[in-house]
Amino acid sequence: MGSLSLVDQILEISQDYLGPAADRFVERQISMHLKKRPETLTKQDVYKLIDWIKLSFALLTNDTGMVEQYAQRLKLVADGKGNEAISQKWSQK
Amino acid sequence: MSIGDGAIVTDESARISRINQPALRILGYSERELLGRWFPEVIPAEDEQGNRLTSIDRPMGQAFLSGKTVSGRAYYRRKDGSRVPVFLTVSPVMVGSKPIGAIELFRDISDEMALERAKDEFVAIASHQLRTPATAVKQYVGLLLEGYSDPITANQKLFLERAYESNERQLHLVQEILKISQLELEKVSLKIESYDIRDIVREALATVQGTINSKQQKVLVKEPDVPVTAKVDREQLRVAIENLLENASHYTWPDKTITISSRRLKDRVRVVVRDEGVGIRAEDFPKLFQKFSRVPNPLSLDVSGTGLGLYWAAKIIHMHGGYIHVASVPGKGSIFTINLPD
């Protein structure tokens, strides 16, 4: 798991919330807000991305807990704790 | 924003945090009924046909995706279940570089739409009525030219030929206006079937080949060896592609190349028309797909057109659930990309 790139870690987590739409959702957010290719993401980029992902995801679900948890797990990725973030699975609070 | 515009502010969870009186009046709710509610659920947005817009497709989703202000039309459901057409503008609310929600301004455009519809109906009737006498003029001038009356002099023949050509242009214009007004009045419906887009591209190319040949331009067709299938209205898509090709030829100098390609992507089919023409300035992009719009450029005086071709193409592609994207560099050329859903 340690060998996963930042974008792969984000995608892995995003799958839990967005299923098959995760790739496209994340790819769009990266290209629109960061104007970068997914494989060139840095941890700083992930911090920036979280706010936009959170807003867009909040339009897809009424479950605030889910939105918050998704953002928290992405923050762990940005903090360099991707393994921890991936090992947490989405659970209804 | 005017005094009668509705305004809704949402927080980072897409919940309504503020709403003004005009918004409540337009939507038929009280403030208590909306504050804190999840915006996409309590105020669903729909398209013209009554299909509910997904969160990503509604202007707020587009604003979050682009990070910019987005404007557009949509239909909102009032508390009593009735529909109200609105023109809305959504902007992400930023604190520094951090987005924290959105503000949406909207106004009821029911009266404007009723007026627009009345205008479209008038144009449809007027152009239909204009076509009949203009066709009769063509017929009688044609009879004179064919010698069905007394012999005519060389000068009379010249004048009649000019009258005939002008009448043909007039009929073409009336026909185009009639076509557009039918589209506006939703009298054009698509006959959707599965087709190989490569065939439609070839048909469109065959139709405009004469125009391209007359300017000694070259055409390059790029397509895969396997079928590029999509569910489309063959006839309407052909006309849309024809319009793009004709446009490319009109605004490209002689001896240059026009490239048309079609291919399948993961979730869509793409047709690209690329020219080496005069190009379009970025500030003219918004005018491109407007009715009767002619963008000034070094070749525009040489081109006689109605300014309806791109408008028609964009409308037809939109009816398919797709969109046209344009990219251009003045002096280098333009790329028009049709994206069609799977």
Taking CB atoms and an 8 Å cutoff, what residues of chain B touch A51?
Answer: 12, 98-100
B252 shares its domain with B336: yes
Say if the Cβ atoms of B14 and A32 lie within 8 Å: no
List B residues 69-108 in contact with A (Cβ-Cβ < 8 A): 92, 97-102
Query: Does A3 touch chain B if contact means CB atoms closer than 8 Å?
Result: no
Say if the Cβ atoms of A56 and B64 lie within 8 Å: yes
Model pLDDT, residue B284: 85
B36 shares its domain with B74: yes
Tokens of B208: 């405009």
Query: Does A31 touch chain B if contact means CB atoms closer than 8 Å?
Result: no
Domain-wise residue ranges, chain A: 6-87
pLDDT higher than 90, residue B96:
no
Query: B187-224 pLDDT, tens per residue?
Result: 788 899 999 999 999 999 999 998 899 999 999 999 99
CA distance B62 to chain A (A): 9
Say if the Cβ atoms of A52 and B99 lie within 8 Å: yes
Query: A15-36 pLDDT, tens per residue?
Result: 999 988 899 899 989 988 998 8
Model pLDDT, residue A93: 47
DSSP A27-73: HHHIIIII-S-GGG--HHHHHHHHHHHHHHHHTT-S-HHHHHHHHHH
Place A90 in a pLDDT band, splitting at 50, 70 and 90. Answer: low
B101 shares its domain with B123: no
Q: Name the amino acid, one letter, at B71.
A: S
B180 shares its domain with B219: no
Identify the residue with better confidence: B302 or B280: B280
CA distance B35 to chain A (A): 14
Q: How far is it, in rounded angstroms, from Cα B13 to Cα A51?
A: 11
B219 shares its domain with B325: yes
User: Considering the domain boundaries, does residue B1 fall inside one?
Assistant: no
Domain around B259 = 193-341
Model pLDDT, residue B300: 67
Boundary of a domain, candidates B184, B212, B234? B184
**Residue in A48, A52, A62 closest to B64 by CB:** A52
B218 shares its domain with B316: yes
Taking CB atoms and an 8 Å cutoff, what residues of chain B touch A54?
Answer: 12
Query: Does A20 touch chain B if contact means CB atoms closer than 8 Å?
Result: no
Q: How much is the average pLDDT of B13-36?
A: 96
Query: B48-85 pLDDT, tens per residue?
Result: 888 899 888 889 988 988 888 999 899 999 999 999 99
Domain count within chain B: 3
Q: How much is the average pLDDT of B138-148?
A: 92
Taking CB atoms and an 8 Å cutoff, what residues of chain A touch B38?
Answer: 62
Q: Write the ipTM.
A: 0.80
Q: Residue B272 maps to which CATH number?
A: 3.30.565.10
Q: 3-state DSSP call for residue B76?
A: strand
**Percent of chain B at pLDDT above 90?**
61
Q: How far is it, in rounded angstroms, from Cα B323 to Cα A50?
A: 29
B93 shares its domain with B176: no
Model pLDDT, residue B323: 92
User: Considering the domain boundaries, does residue B282 fall inside one?
Assistant: yes
**Weakest-pLDDT range from B38-47, B64-73, B205-214, B285-294:** B285-294
Q: How much is the average pLDDT of B221-229?
A: 95
Model pLDDT, residue B287: 83
Taking CB atoms and an 8 Å cutoff, what residues of chain B touch A48?
Answer: 97
Q: How much is the average pLDDT of B249-277?
A: 93
Model pLDDT, residue B261: 96
Q: How far is it, in rounded angstroms, from Cα B328 to Cα B336?
A: 9
